[in-house]
Amino acid sequence: MVHEIGHMFGLKHCVFYDCVMNGSNHLEESKKRTFHLCPVCLRKLQSVVGFNIAERYKTLQETCESLSGRQFGEAAKWYEQAYNAIMQKYGNNYQKFIEEEKVSKSRVDSSLAKKTPETAKSKNSGSILQAKQNLDKQIDMYKDL
């Protein structure tokens, strides 16, 4: 079901890593699919939805711990490890980066609101590039997971 919800957010089948968005040809392949997004698909989803990755992992860990079953216990451990890896490597710097990104986005949004549609289009292309660069920085964090 998570795979299909990923499609609803515009994610295509993944060919990069072991990922919940990997395609499958039969039920056995679907059952063997991992429960989490790979770094590439996580970045895509984050660009569509906009969320703090560390907070997402912490919340998913807590949710899995509240559910029963072996699969949820394994998932909770994976999310805990992912959260700890981010916080160990980046700690408060990650939170600072997220806050700076929010401030930067709000500045861009407020300046776009003041511009004409023609000017906003050219300004928007710069903010898209900035967003891509910010997301590129975040995906670098997952190389250590």
Catalytic machinery residues: 4
| CA dihedral sign, ordered 38, 40, 42, 48 | negative
Compute the distance between CA of residue 135 and CA of residue 48 in angstroms, rounded to an integer. Answer: 11
Do 55 and 23 form a contact (C-beta atoms < 8 A)? no
With tokens 């916080």, the residue in question is 87
First to last CA, the chain: 25
Collect contacts of 45-52 with beta carbons under 8 A, ≥24 apart. Answer: 45/6, 45/9, 45/11, 46/135, 46/138, 47/131, 47/135, 48/9, 48/10, 49/9, 52/98
